[in-house]
Each structure stands twice: as C-alpha cells, then as structure tokens.
Amino acid sequence: MSTVFPRWVNRLPFLMIFIGGGGLFGVVGFVWYYFSPWYTDVGYAPRQPVPYSHKLHAGTLGIDCRYCHTGVEVGQHATIPPTQTCMNCHTMIRPESPRLLPVRESFATGEPVEWLRVHKLPDYVRFSHQAHVQAGVGCVECHGRVDQMEVVRQTKPLSMGWCLDCHRAPEAALRPPEMVTVMDYVATAPDEGARLRAAGQIEPPTHCSACHY
C-alpha cells in the first residue's frame, strides 16, 4: 500500500524538537550574557569634563581615597569632592594648565564641575559606604584598582547576585578597617578574613528589606 508522505517525514518531529530546543537555549544564553551587567555595565568609562587621573593622584602620589571622598566613612555616599579640594593643591601646582580650565572656572563662578557618575545603583537600592568601610571591606573590592586607572571604569557588575555572593561569604573581602583604602593590601594570613568576621561579628543580611526600600 503506497504512502502519501516519504519515510523521512517521520523524522520531522524529532528535528523540530531538536532545533526548537537548541534555539530556545541559544536565546536564553544570549539574554543571560548580553543583557547582564557583566556585559552592559562592566567596562563603562565615561569621558569626564576634566581628565583627572586616579593613577597619578591615588597611585603615583599616594593620595588617600578619603582626602577627596570625605563621606565614605560617615555616610551612605562617598561624595564627590568640591572644587575647593582640587584648588587646595592646584592654586600652586600647574595653576595655568589648560586641562584644569573647568576647575578654575568652577572655582571662580561657584558652579560645580559636572562630573559623570561611573558606579550607579538603581534608585530602589539602599547602599551605605559607611557600613561597608567600617566592617573592613576594601575600596578595591567594588571599584577595582583605581590607583592604576587613568580613566576610572566600572570593573564589577554591582548586580544583586554579585552583592549576595559577598554577603553570604564576606571573608574574602574583609581586611582591617584601617587598611580599606590600601589598594595593594595582601592578607597577613590565609584565615584573616574569617578571623575578622568572627571578631567583628559580621553577619551581612541577605533578606530583601536590607537593601531595598
């Protein structure tokens, strides 16, 4: 008895399942990577109105982070330094440099320099620099080696999953609080983080209301 369709048609359902499943996994993988902060945010390095080099100031000159970011130990935000902080040095050091023209104009007019924010969390996220710094989380853990950056760039995804990984196991990020701004700090012992966590009774919260309004 003759058949209407050839035998190879019997394989079509399996081929459709295989191709459809592969396509679904491909779409999921594409979204998982290309829509994640690892791809969309990491590497962000906007051009600032003043070509300020952290590599020179924090690296070569060894200026402590807290000289400019004065709020990092006492408040939620690290704060951007006012123009007066820049002029404390640059009234005498390279005062006529054309690269510093926006700083001089800001100082003369009282209008702030319009710096572009690099590390930004969503408005519904509550993050306190004070809590992390006082617990002994080094600046480098979130911001990378800014002392080696001519142009500051984002090196971490700052995603919820990334934050939770640290909250669940903070030992690797801990150091003595007085060493938080030392970019090249090396732990004095393999179990230093665990000892600091135990001594400070550091138990970072993982419930939603800890970080979300």
Residues 152 and 187 placed together within one structural domain of the fold: yes
Residues 173 and 206 placed together within one structural domain of the fold: yes
CA distances from 84 to 68, 115, 147, 151, 174 (A): 10, 15, 22, 22, 33
Residues 76 and 86 placed together within one structural domain of the fold: no
Residues 163 and 75 placed together within one structural domain of the fold: yes
Q: Looking at the domain assignment, is residue 145 inside a domain?
A: yes
Q: Looking at the domain assignment, is residue 49 inside a domain?
A: no
CB within 8 Å of 198: residues ≥ 6 apart = none
pLDDT of residue 175: 97
| Distance of alpha carbon 206 from alpha carbon 208, whole angstroms | 7
Q: Looking at the domain assignment, is residue 94 inside a domain?
A: yes
Residues 170 and 199 placed together within one structural domain of the fold: yes
pLDDT of residue 169: 96
| Distance of alpha carbon 135 from alpha carbon 166, whole angstroms | 13
Task: Report how far Cα 160 is from the mean position of its chain's Cα atoms.
Answer: 12
Residues 98 and 181 placed together within one structural domain of the fold: no
Domain that residue 87 falls in: 82-114
Residues 58 and 160 placed together within one structural domain of the fold: yes
pLDDT of residue 33: 67
pLDDT of residue 40: 87
Residue 57 · residue 86 · CB < 8 Å: no
pLDDT of residue 184: 94
pLDDT of residue 145: 97
pLDDT of residue 147: 97
Residue 125 · residue 76 · CB < 8 Å: no
pLDDT of residue 10: 72
Q: Looking at the domain assignment, is residue 18 inside a domain?
A: yes
Tens of pLDDT along 180-213?
A: 999 999 999 999 999 999 999 999 999 999 999 8
Residue 127 · residue 156 · CB < 8 Å: no
Residues 106 and 154 placed together within one structural domain of the fold: no
Residues 75 and 174 placed together within one structural domain of the fold: yes
Residues 159 and 178 placed together within one structural domain of the fold: yes
pTM of the model: 0.80
Residues 66 and 162 placed together within one structural domain of the fold: yes
Q: What is the number of domains present in the chain?
A: 3
Residues 137 and 153 placed together within one structural domain of the fold: yes
Q: Kindly give the parts of the chain with pLDDT less than 50.
A: none
